[in-house]
Amino acid sequence: MAEVISVSALNQYVKTLLDANDLLFDIALRGEIANFVQNARSGHCYFSLRDAACSVKAVMFRSDARRLSFRPEEGMKVVVRCRATLYERDGAFQIYVNDMFPDGIGAAQLAFEQLKAKLDAEGLFAPEHKKPLPQYPRCIGLVTSKTGAALQDIRNVISRRWPAVRLLLCPVSVQGFEAAQDVAAAIDRLDKSGKVDEIIVARGGGSREDLWVFNAEIIARAAYRCKTPLISAIGHEIDFTILDLVADQRAPTPSAAAELAVPDRAELARKLYNLEENIQNNIQSRLNVCYNELMQMDEAFSGEVTRRTAANGEARLNAYRRQLQAAATAAQRTRQQRLRHAAALAASLNPYQVLARGYALLYDEKGRVSTADALREGEHITLRGTGHTAQCTVTSVEEINESTQKL
C-alpha cells in the first residue's frame, strides 16, 4: 500500500516540482482575459486567461500592475510573461504575471488609446514642456540597434550635412520583451552622462507589432524626464507611437531625424554668402547716400565760404588801404620835416646869409674869392655885400695882434 501523506505535503511536493522546472519559470502565454478583478485595497489583479479549450487562473501583483501601459478589460486578447506554479493553500494551479501586452489590432489600439489619454491628462504631451533643439550640437546620443539600418542612415546624413558633430551610440534591442526597459535605461543613461547635446531614439521600419514597444509607458516617462532635447524617429512616416507624442521633436524616419538634429553646412554657406553680399550692398548703398549728402553740404558750404571769404577779403583790403594811407601820410610828414630841416641846414650854410649879418665877400683882381691875409698893398679888390659891391684899393696891410688890436 502506498505511503499516506497529507494534502499539504502533496501540494508542497507538486509546487516544488513545478518551481524546479525551468520551462515554467518564464513563459510567454497568449490568451483572452476573463473574470478580471482588481482589488481596490491591495491593487492586485485577479483574472483567468483562456483560449478556445482551456483556462488558467492568473495573479498580477500591484508592483507589476502599476507598470502596465493600458487597463486590462474583459475579453481583451493579451500576451503575458509569467511563471506557472501551485498555490499551496488551495491546491490551485495558476500563473503569476510579470508583464502584459495587448495582442491583436483591436486590443493593441485600445491599449494605445488608454495610455495616450492617461499620459495626456498628466501633461506629458504639453507643448510648453517641449525643449528646443540646439542649433549647432557638438555631440549627439543615439538610442538604436547597433546592427540596424537606422544607425547607418543617421551616420550617412550627418556625415554629409555636419561632419564636425560626434555620435555617441547607446545600443539597445528595439523589439521583444526586454526592449522597453533597455530603451528607457539608455535614455536615462545618456541624459545623465552630460556628454550629449541632444538624443535620437530611432528604429527602422517594421510591422505595427514590431514598433509597439515604443508605446510602452516606461519609455514615455523616461523621455518626459529627459532634460536633453530628444528626437523620436520610429518606423516610417505613417507610423505613430506614444514616444512621438512625448518627444521634443518627432521625425518620420531616422534619416529625417538626422536632418533635424544638425544644420546643413551647404545651406549655411549659402546663407553666409547671401548675408555677406547683403552687408556689402547695404554698406555701398549707405556710402552712396553719405557721399551725396557730403556733396550737397560741400556745395552749400562752398558758396557760404565764398561769400564769407569775399566779405573778409574786402574788410582786410579796407584795413590795408587805411593802413597804407596812414603810412603814406606819416611818410609824407616825415619827408616834409626832413626837407625843412635840410632847407634850414642849407640856409645856415649859404654864404649870402652870412653877408646879411654885415659881412662881405672879398674878390681879388681876377675875380676870385680871397681873404684879408692874401691882400697886398696897392691891390685893387672888390667887396660884395648883400645888395651892393664896392671897388677898393688896398692902401696898407697890417698884421693884427691881440695886444695892438684897436677897437
What would the DSSP string read from start to end of 212-279? GGGG-HHHHHHHHH--S-EEEEESSTT---HHHHHSSEE-SSHHHHHHHHS--HHHHHHHHHHHHHHH
| pLDDT at residue number 385 | 79
**Banded model confidence at residue 252, pLDDT cuts 50, 70, 90:** very high
d(CA 220, CA 230) in angstroms, rounded, equals: 11
| pLDDT at residue number 155 | 95
If one counts every other C-beta atom within 10 angstroms of the C-beta of residue 144, the result is 26
Exposed/middle/buried for residue 132 (C-beta within 10 Å: 0-12, 13-18, 19+): exposed
Distances (CA, A) of 302 to 294, 308, 311: 12, 10, 14
Cα-atom radius of gyration of the chain, to the nearest Å? 67
* Contacts by 271-279, CB closer than 8 A, 24 or more apart: none
Mean pLDDT of 73-100: 91
| pLDDT at residue number 400 | 73
Mean pLDDT of 76-81: 90
Residue 210 main-chain phi, psi, to 5 deg: -65, -35
What percentage of the chain exceeds 90 in pLDDT? Answer: 48
In 318-394 the beta strands, taken as DSSP E runs, fall at 361-363, 369-370, 380-384, 389-393
What percentage of the chain exceeds 70 in pLDDT? Answer: 93
Q: Within a 13 Å sphere around the CA of 214, how many CA atoms are in the beta-carbon half?
A: 30
Question: Given the C-alpha cell 528604429, which residue does it identify?
Answer: 203
| pLDDT at residue number 404 | 45
The mean-pLDDT minimum among 24-28, 88-92, 184-188, 393-397 falls in 393-397
Crossing angle between the packed helical segments 149-161 and 254-261, to the nearest 10 degrees: 30
Report how far apart the first and last C-alpha atoms of the chain are (Å, whole number): 220
Q: What is the pTM of this model?
A: 0.55
DSSP code of 134? P
DSSP code of 319? H
The mean-pLDDT minimum among 11-20, 297-306, 323-332 falls in 297-306
**Banded model confidence at residue 406, pLDDT cuts 50, 70, 90:** very low
Convert the pLDDT of each residue in 269-314 to its tens digit.
Answer: 898 899 988 999 999 998 888 888 888 887 777 766 667 777 787 8
| pLDDT at residue number 407 | 43
**Banded model confidence at residue 204, pLDDT cuts 50, 70, 90:** confident
Residue 259 predicted with pLDDT over 60: yes
The mean-pLDDT minimum among 80-89, 238-247, 248-257, 338-347 falls in 338-347
